[in-house]
Structure 1
Amino acid sequence: MAMMIWVLGALFLGFMALYWLTPLGVPTLKRLGGGEASPDLRFGYQPDETYRLLAHYGPAGIAHFRRLLWIDMVFPGVYAAFFALLTLEWAQWVDASPAWAAASVGCAIAAGASDYVENILLMRVLGALPARADATVRAASIFTRAKFVFSNLTLAIPVAQWLVAHLL
């Protein structure tokens, strides 16, 4: 399992570098959006603001966003598996109860699954252009929020377990 964690960790860092440090990633999309973050990087969004941003992107920005979403069809599996395996290692290391381990692993998997649904919905929004798909934007926003909540819970659960084990 340790080797798999290292491999997934390297893939995770590679994706993060691609997204945040190269012209293929977020910096270019942010520039095309006038400095605004894409919907999948916000904690929720509404149809009107999403369509204003897409109009600001123009065809080049929409094509770039679509490419990022396609790349992001691999990343959630990588980070969900990476964090699930890390939390299993953590649970064994601290002798956490199965409930703590299951909660943390479950949140990692739920974060990845929410990210996949978000991506699919945002691809549908882009595929419907120039027509609006307001209900699809709202649904994507719900899954974006879920992605953020579950991702943060994945990291917070080991801290909460430590606090419970050592302070109560």
Structure 2
Amino acid sequence: MTIHTEHPFETPEDGRDQVRRLRSRVGATVSLWTSGEGVERAGLTVSSYLVATGDPGRVVGLLHPDSDLLDRLRETGTAVVALLGARDERLAEAFAGSMPAPGGPFRLTEWEQTEWGPRAVGAQTWAGVRLDPSSVHEVGWSVLVEASVEHVVVGADEAPLVHRRGRYQRST
């Protein structure tokens, strides 16, 4: 038996989307976007986003067009954007849909309901945001959303969970 270092089903180099490859090399702290309340909660792990300062500050994110989060965000107009730490990899995987979460990913940790949506109690740095409905539009394979930052809590500067080249990485 031969063991190979490459993935046997990986797309050949010349068949890969070059823009996607470029994006994968722009590392980002992983965030968890949540919206809704009770059984109507939804969440999504997002690493393609940016925060712009100003009055008000803005958060711009690229969301999956078929995500429950996008539907809930459109319905409620609000969300919590929490930055995840290295200890949150399991939570990130579950909300990304790449790890099973029996009973759903909201069962993996304790939550506090805020006026913007549910917040993982362990999330030390987070923002409550309000969607600008006129800013929602398709961009490539994603939906770009823009929201005003209404509330910010900046906690301890812990080791972030970083997503780069399709993998979660712990950064110090």
Task: Give the TM-score normalised by structure 1.
Answer: 0.24
Structure having the higher Rg: 1
Report the structure, 1 or 2, having the larger strand content: 2
Normalized against structure 2, the TM-score is what?
0.24
Q: Quick check: which one's helix share is greater?
A: 1
